[in-house]
A = this chain, B = another copy of it.
Amino acid sequence: MDRCNATELLRLKNVKVTRSRIAILDEIIASDNPVNAIDLHNGLSGQLTVNLATVYRMLKLFVDVGILREAFADNGTQYFEMACVHNPAHAHFQCSKCKRIICLSPLTFEDTILFSEASKIGEINEINIKLKGICQKCRSTA
């Protein structure tokens, strides 16, 4: 699975390349699941520390310049993921029991039939699909 390079990506998007931004963006790039601000803040490895307020500022900035997309919200917490070529838009499944999130396969052309009505209403530039239910593991452990 190919991934972006944090420094290159920041430069490409014309935002200043700082130690803190690289550290946070590295975490996001490395994660296979959507992430939230607090996890990113706690997840910093080693000596470097980044203030939580700064993490929030980064997340907003990264969404603004198109590095990230907001994947979904869970109980008032926002989760983000890479919006790069390596991570095409897709739906998310959340188990209501164990709360685990699973990223589904990228949306196909057929899926977009679903959005034909919406495209009459306006120009779509963000798609957000969240499915909730009980995962296999939780069902078998019932």
Residues of A within 8 A of B (CB): 72-73, 76, 78, 91, 93, 95-96, 102, 104-105, 107, 110-111, 113-115, 117-118, 121-136, 138-139
Q: Can you list 10 A-B contacts (CB < 8 A)? A: A72-B128, A76-B76, A91-B114, A96-B126, A102-B121, A104-B117, A110-B114, A114-B114, A122-B135, A129-B129
Q: How far is the CB of A140 from chain B (nearest CB, A)?
A: 11
Each complex incorporates copies of this chain amounting to: 2
Rounded to whole angstroms, the CA-CA distance of A113 and B104 in the bound complex is 13
Q: How far is the CB of A12 from chain B (nearest CB, A)?
A: 24
Indicate if the CB atoms of A123 and B133 lie closer than 8 Å: yes
Taking a contact as CB atoms closer than 8 A, the residue among B78, B93, B95, B122 that contacts A133 in the complex is: B122
Q: How far is the CB of A83 from chain B (nearest CB, A)?
A: 13
Closest to A115 in B: B131
Rounded to whole angstroms, the CA-CA distance of A40 and B125 in the bound complex is 30
Q: Which residues of B contact A73 (CB under 8 A)?
A: 73, 76
Indicate if the CB atoms of A125 and B118 lie closer than 8 Å: no
Closest to A127 in B: B131
Q: A76-B76, A78-B76 are in contact. Are A131 and B110 (CB under 8 A)?
A: no
Q: Which residues of B contact A128 (CB under 8 A)?
A: 72, 128-132
Q: How far is the CB of A78 from chain B (nearest CB, A)?
A: 7
Q: A78-B76, A114-B114, A117-B104 are in contact. Are A132 and B139 (CB under 8 A)?
A: no
